[in-house]
Structure 1
Amino acid sequence: MQRAVHWFFCAFVVLAGIAPAAARQSSPTPAMWVIEGGPGTVEILGSVHLLKPGTKWYDGAVKSALERSDDLVLETVLDAAAYKKIQEITVARGLYPEGQSLKANVPPAVYQHTVEAAQKMGIQEPVIQRFRPWYASVVLASGAVQSMGFDSKSGVEQTLTEEAKLRGLKVSGLETAEEQIMVLAGTDPSVQLSMLEDTMRQNDDVKQTLDKLTGAWTHGDLKTLERLLVDEVKTNQALYDLVIVKRNDNWVPKIRALMAKPGHHLLVVGAAHLVGPDSVILKLEKAGVKVRRQ
């Protein structure tokens, strides 16, 4: 499941999460960057989307950044309308129509492993039969991660959204909920199959990997984040291009537009988008934008 967990963290604000690790320094300092020199100042925070309750990260630089910001910009805003859209797309693109089934569309060994994993989560075979590979993969990876105690209410985006609303700040997104979920729902069947196969490849050190990942994020260790988030996902190049590269390309002009808007803006996107050879940071710099690490 190790590689599946990595792309899973990169894909959805509503479904990803990592567990806390022992502190390596006196205070949490997630990596942040700043863009100055235009009408607007943009501070960029790499996030993780779910965390265990009690994970320390919000004090210090992140809290100060929100306090001086005029608005908060996320990958997407998850309000009631967004969740409704996600549910609609899941039904339309995540389930097979009558007469089709997961069993008929994946190799027998993959299907059997999927059924066994689903049953451990309380999902019976007649139900998992209806799931397309991408949706089965997301549901099973989500269940595995959340069974370790991860909580969306403790995640970066939800915490910052609640704080922003208390301060009366506008909260907006770089992409819609529909655009975000279609990253996976719209993939080629062969890519969906590889996602499910990854999820079914069990790995005994998943929790250890997640601990390392959280420790790296909490303390701004970009080298480790790149190794754990980017290098692993790149082993599935088609999925990497969809989840990381294409979305990063789409975000660059939107970030530049944010720079042109007077005020102080806090931008929060998944940490996987800010490290590696195709990161938003490098793409901004290639576009002539001066970005510095805080």
Structure 2
Amino acid sequence: MRLFYRLFKSTLTLYLVLATASVLASTYQPFLWKVQYQRATVYLAGSIHALTEDFYPLPTAYESAFNESDRLAVELDPQALDPYRSAQIVRQKMWLPEGVTLERFLSDAHLKQLKELAKHNGSSYEQMLKLRPWMLVEQLTQAQLAQGDYQADLGVDLHFLTLAKEKGLPILELETLSQQINAIADAPFQAQLAMLETSLDQYEDQDYMGEMVEYWRTAKPDELYQFVYEDVLTTPALKPMMEALLDKRNRHMADIIGLYLSQAPSRPLTTFVVVGALHLSGPNSVIKLLEQKGYYVEPLFTAQ
């Protein structure tokens, strides 16, 4: 489940993070980098997409970088989506073929768990069995989020989207909703199934979320990546999902950010980019890809 929480960010999925005021009383660093090339500057901020008020105010480095910026770039602006068109995109990818159900693929124990969850959430068990695994994982995630107090409107990305709209800044999007949905919905079926089984196995276990947010809060990108990658080491069938949701999307994001840097206008232009923290973590991160393109990427946090 930790893989899904950290990799799949869309208007369909919010991210749950667990923390307490006592945790926040210790060191709080910006998950933030700076890239400069010719007359262009890009700030790269890692987002946790649902937080509590305890996380605010953010470290001053975030606000300073944002206030220097001429525009904001995010993965996707959920407030700009057409609800009807969004629903169409999801419906095209959510159902198994006619006559096929998850009963064919899941163990008796997992089916029993699904039935109990359906009863608890007031859902139709028969309809759940007709969903493609990725969509059922989404529903499980929503059910977990409904049990918590963490709010998407307190996420880092929406925080800066709100500020940008208040200031009248241009807002750029790195992806479309179709690209985000396809990243998970078009992943190999066995990888989706492995994610569903992992999600069911971890459904009652929320302890790992506190550790994940701690890696973000203390700006430890390598540790964050390794923590999430444990699921892949334990369940190798998840690897295609990691590649689809992270590596492939990172390459696309790095290409777009490279354009922000290389296509400088006649005046200096600064872009504040906010993406999920895991996109800035690990060996195939946006940071590493920009470095491979020849850019110097400066961390704005203190290495620990």
Where does residue 229 of structure 1 map in the other structure? 228
Deviation at 1:20, TM superposition (A): 2.2
Cα distance in structure 2, aligned partners of 1:102 and 1:35: 47
**Aligned match of 2:9 in 3, 9, 12?**
12
Where does residue 260 of structure 2 map in the other structure? 258
Deviation at 1:118, TM superposition (A): 2.9
Q: Is the deviation greater in 121-130 or in 240-249?
A: 121-130
Secondary structure at the residue paired with 1:172?
strand
Where does residue 197 of structure 2 map in the other structure? 197
Residue 25 to residue 54, structure 1, CA distance change in 2 (3 Å): closer
Cα distance in structure 1, aligned partners of 2:269 and 2:123: 49
Cα distance in structure 2, aligned partners of 1:148 and 1:164: 28
Cα distance in structure 1, aligned partners of 2:27 and 2:18: 17
**Aligned match of 2:247 in 245, 249, 252?**
245
Cα distance in structure 1, aligned partners of 2:196 and 2:203: 14
2:189 maps to a residue whose letter is P
1:243 maps to a residue whose letter is L
- TM superposition outliers: structure 1 runs of 4+ over 4 Å: 24-27
* TM-superposition CA deviations, 1:265-294 (whole Å, max 9, x none): 001111111111111111111121111101
Q: Is the deviation greater in 142-151 or in 179-188?
A: 142-151
Where does residue 148 of structure 2 map in the other structure? 148
Q: Is the deviation greater in 8-17 or in 100-109?
A: 100-109
Q: Is the deviation greater in 96-105 or in 126-135?
A: 96-105
Deviation at 1:216, TM superposition (A): 1.9
1:279 maps to a residue whose letter is S
2:257 maps to a residue whose letter is I
Q: Is the deviation greater in 125-134 or in 170-179?
A: 125-134
Residue 203 to residue 224, structure 1, CA distance change in 2 (3 Å): farther
1:213 maps to a residue whose letter is M
Cα distance in structure 2, aligned partners of 1:5 and 1:173: 25
* TM-superposition CA deviations, 1:94-117 (whole Å, max 9, x none): 124654433345444433322222
Cα distance in structure 1, aligned partners of 2:57 and 2:23: 11
Where does residue 113 of structure 1 map in the other structure? 113
Deviation at 1:255, TM superposition (A): 0.8
Deviation at 1:129, TM superposition (A): 2.8
Cα distance in structure 2, aligned partners of 1:136 and 1:119: 15
Cα distance in structure 2, aligned partners of 1:25 and 1:97: 51
Contact 2:16 2:148 in 1 (8 A): no
Contact 2:77 2:173 in 1 (8 A): yes
Contact 1:174 1:251 in 2 (8 A): yes
Residue 179 to residue 211, structure 1, CA distance change in 2 (3 Å): same
Contact 2:2 2:228 in 1 (8 A): no
Aligned length, in residue pairs: 290
* TM-superposition CA deviations, 1:209-245 (whole Å, max 9, x none): 1112112212212343122234435652111111111
Consecutive unaligned residues of structure 1, counting only runs of 5 or more, are: none
Contact 1:66 1:266 in 2 (8 A): yes
* Identity of matched residues, %: 24
Q: What TM-score does the superposition give when structure 1 sets the normalisation length?
A: 0.89
Matches within 5 A, 1:1-294: 4-14=1-11, 15=13, 16-21=15-20, 22-23=22-23, 28-96=28-96, 99-202=99-202, 206-233=205-232, 235=236, 236-260=238-262, 261=264, 262-294=268-300
Q: What TM-score does the superposition give when structure 2 sets the normalisation length?
A: 0.87
1:250 maps to a residue whose letter is H
Cα distance in structure 1, aligned partners of 2:156 and 2:125: 35
Cα distance in structure 1, aligned partners of 2:76 and 2:82: 9
Secondary structure at the residue paired with 2:206?
helix
Cα distance in structure 1, aligned partners of 2:86 and 2:115: 24
